[in-house]
Copies of this chain bind each other. A is one copy, B any other.
Amino acid sequence: MSISINDVARVAGVSKSTVSRVLGGGPVSEEVRGRVEVAIRQTGYRPNLQARRLRSRHTGIIGLIVADIRNPFFTALIRAVEEVAYREGLRVTLCNTDEDPEREALYLQLMHEERISGLIFAPTRTTVGRLERLTLDFPTVLVDRAAASGSIDSVVLDNPAAMGALVEHLVERGYRRIGGLFGSTSTTAAERPDALVTSNSLLLMGALKAARSAGLAIPGELALAGFDNERWTELVEPGITVVEQPVEDMGRAAMSLLLERLRMPELPVRRLVMTGRCVVRGSTAGR
């Protein structure tokens, strides 16, 4: 059916061990190497990765589990991770949990069944509190969401600092009742705030839309601020004040931590904390 290493061996007149060696860059005489390479081209041989992974006992697959693929933050993260993996000759298998802990649990199972070499993991909000109780069967780097006292490598934004800066800015501009929108756990429902802070750009957009249809003047009746400097935040009127996260850096850093961990399993646990950048726009100009 499919062309195997045996076919190449036969055509080249060598053993399959030798073919395997030229494929893997082992010690082979120039003359033999040439013959094998010709045979590979002639036969159109492509290695079967399943077989290679089974035998060599490492898959070179990086698992990437994100909590919401519609969130541009995660899209950018995926892109950065994929970029690095591509350069390193690693494959990445992507899973989107959509904030569903059950799907997440299933995907973690699957990652084990795939025998992935390592995992980059943005857990659901539910899971982030019970990370310590999780048994991960492979080197893992948490990203974006990670409890403070962790035993797992992580790269996160200094969220308290960023939130603090945002709130401080709002107070300075005269806002006093500041509400928060953080996914499922919003703290603001009945509180009639005069300023709203959201934890991602999807919520920010939702808040803007709601404020508009409620006929609230921004920033006069309601200030708006949030996370992620998406391009639309500067195209709407007024522009929205946001914290910009170095997402791509975070993705690359996560891959670096993971690759180091793979090479040196005994490394101490590392936690990379990045800082956001406040971009002040009209949406928080004052009452």
What is the bound-complex CA distance between A87 and B235, given in angstroms? 39
**In the complex, which residues of chain B have a beta carbon less than 8 angstroms from the beta carbon of A188?**
none
State the Cβ distance, A222 to closest chain B Cβ, in Å: 15
Contact between B113 and A47, CB atoms less than 8 A apart: yes
Is residue A17 within 8 Å, beta carbon to beta carbon, of the partner chain?
Answer: no
Complex interface: chain B residues within 8 A of A189 (CB): none
A interface residues, how many (CB within 8 angstroms): 42
Interface members, chain A 213-270 (any B CB < 8 Å): 231-232, 235-237
CB distance from A277 to the nearest CB of B (A): 20
A91 contacts B115, CB within 8 Å? no
Q: Once bound together, how far apart are the Cα atoms of A209 and B91, in whole Å?
A: 36
- CB-based contact B54/A79 at 8 Å: no
> When the two chains form their complex, are residues B59 and A50 in contact, meaning their CB atoms are under 8 A apart?
yes
Min CB–CB distance A211 → chain B (angstroms): 11
Partner of A205, one of B1, B91, B212, B231: B231
Q: Is B232 within 8 A of A49, CB to CB? A: no
CA distance A91 to B86 in the complex (A): 19
The answer to whether A112 has its CB under 8 Å from any CB of chain B is yes
**Smallest Cβ distance from A189 to chain B, in angstroms?**
22
Interface string of A76-88 (1 = CB under 8 A from B): 1011001000100
* Minimal beta-carbon separation of A43 from chain B (angstroms): 14
Q: 1/0 per residue A97-125: CB within 8 Å of B?
A: 00000010000011011110000000000
**Contact mask for chain A residues 55-78; partner B; CB cutoff 8 A; 1 contact, 0 none:** 001010000000001100001101
Further contacts, 17 of them, CB under 8 A, given A48-B113, A92-B93, A236-B237? A46-B113, A47-B113, A49-B113, A51-B54, A54-B54, A69-B75, A69-B78, A70-B75, A70-B76, A75-B75, A86-B103, A92-B94, A94-B94, A208-B235, A209-B231, A209-B235, A232-B236
Listed by A's residue number, 18 A-B pairs whose Cβ atoms lie within 8 Å are A2-B115, A46-B112, A47-B113, A50-B50, A50-B53, A50-B114, A50-B115, A51-B54, A54-B54, A82-B94, A92-B93, A92-B94, A94-B94, A205-B231, A208-B235, A232-B236, A236-B236, A236-B237
Question: Which 10 pairs of residues, A with B, have the shortest CB-CB distance?
Answer: A232-B232, A50-B54, A50-B53, A94-B94, A49-B113, A237-B237, A50-B50, A235-B236, A51-B54, A46-B113
